[in-house]
Amino acid sequence: MRLSSVQIFQQGINAILNQQSSLQQTQLQLTSGKRVNTPSDDPAAAVQILALGERLSAVDQYQRNADFAEGQLAREETTLASVGDRLQRVRELVIQANNATQSAESRRAIATEIDAQLEALVALANTTDTNGDYIFAGFQTDEIPFVRQGNVVTYQGDDGQRFVQIADGSQVAVRDSGASVFQTIPGGQDVFTTLQEIVDVLNSGMPTEVNTVLEQSLTNLDQTMEHLLEVRADIGVRLNQVDGQREINESFTLQLQETLSEAQDLDYVEAISRFNLQLTALQAAQQSYVKTQGLSLFNYL
C-alpha cells in the first residue's frame, strides 16, 4: 500500500501519543491508589462505592448510639441497685419494728430512719443524667418527676419511654418512666405510699394496728422489690441486646470496609507491571520514530 510522507510521520506520532495517554492514566491510578477515579472508569463500582460509604457512616452512627444507650441503661441500673439496697434496709427496719419488744419511743426512732430512707428514695427517683435530664420523668425530662409535699408523693411525669436506634429496624428503650418503675406495681401499691404508711403507723404509737399494717406493708415491700428486680432484669436484657448489636455492627463494619477496598482499591502489583510495560512500549515507539524519520531518497541525490 502506498504511503504519503505525511502519513509516515503521522503514524509514528500517533503511536507515541497513544502510549503517552495510557501511561498517564496508569500513573494517575498509581498516585491515587484507586482503581476507580471517575464514575466512567467503572460506573457500577462507582455506585457501589457511594452506597458502601453511606452504610459505613450509618453503622458508625449506630455504634455511637449504642454507646449512648449503654451509658443510659448503666445509669438506670446503678440507680435501681441503690433503690433496692435502701428498700432492703427498710425491710429490715420493718421486721425490727414489728417485734413485740419495741416501745413507742423506739418505734418513733425507726420511723424517723424510714422517713429518711423515703427522702433518699425520692431523691433517687429524681436522678438526672449527665445532661441534666430527669431519667424517670417519661417525656417531661426538664421537670422534677416526684414531688413530696407533706406525706404525699405525686408523680408529675408521664408514661413516655425513650428509644435509641442501634441498627436498621432495631430500637432499644433506654429509659423507663417513673410510673412504670415506682408506681404501677402489679397487684400492689406504689412504693412511696407503702413507706409513708409505715412511717405514719410507727409514729402513731398505736400498738394494736401496728402489727396488721406492718404485715401488710411487708407484703407490699416484697412486691415492690420483686417488681424492681424484674425491671432490673429487663434492663439487663436490654444491655445484652445493645452489646450483641454492637458486636454485629463491628463485624458488619469490617465486611463493608473489605468490600469497599475490593471495589475501590488498586491492585498495585498489576498496575506496576502494566506501567512498566507501557513505559517500554513508549520508549520503543519513540526510538522507532527517530530511526524511520531519517530515511529519505533526497539524502542520496
Residues that bind another protein (CB under 8 A): 1-7, 10-11, 14, 37-44, 46-47, 49-51, 53-54, 57-58, 60-61, 64-65, 68, 131, 133-134, 137-143, 155, 158-160, 162-165, 168, 171, 175, 179, 183-184, 186-187, 190, 296-298, 301
Cell of 210: 401496728
Surface-to-core class of residue 72, CB atoms within 10 Å of its CB (0-12 exposed, 13-18 middle, 19+ buried): buried
Surface-to-core class of residue 15, CB atoms within 10 Å of its CB (0-12 exposed, 13-18 middle, 19+ buried): middle
Surface-to-core class of residue 137, CB atoms within 10 Å of its CB (0-12 exposed, 13-18 middle, 19+ buried): buried
From 198, 15, 200, select the one nearest 96 (Cα to Cα).
198
Q: Minimum Å distance from CB 12 to another protein?
A: 13
Choice between 60 and 85, CB closer to another protein: 60
Q: Minimum Å distance from CB 44 to another protein?
A: 7
List, in sequence order, every beta strand (DSSP E) within the chain. Answer: 146-149, 152-155, 163-167, 170-173
Q: Minimum Å distance from CB 169 to another protein?
A: 9
| φ, ψ for residue 195, nearest 5 deg | -65, -40
Contact 13, 289 (CB under 8 A): yes
Q: Minimum Å distance from CB 63 to another protein?
A: 11
Choice between 150 and 187, CB closer to another protein: 187
Choice between 94 and 137, CB closer to another protein: 137
Q: Minimum Å distance from CB 193 to another protein?
A: 10
Which residue matches cell numbers 445484652? 240
Task: Establish how many alpha carbons lie within 13 A of residue 92's alpha carbon, considering only the half-sphere containing its beta carbon.
Answer: 7
Choice between 4 and 101, CB closer to another protein: 4
Choice between 8 and 104, CB closer to another protein: 8
Choice between 86 and 175, CB closer to another protein: 175
Q: Minimum Å distance from CB 225 to another protein?
A: 19
Choice between 269 and 297, CB closer to another protein: 297
∠ Cα 164 166 167 (to 5°) = 130
Cell of 231: 425491671
Q: Minimum Å distance from CB 122 to another protein?
A: 17
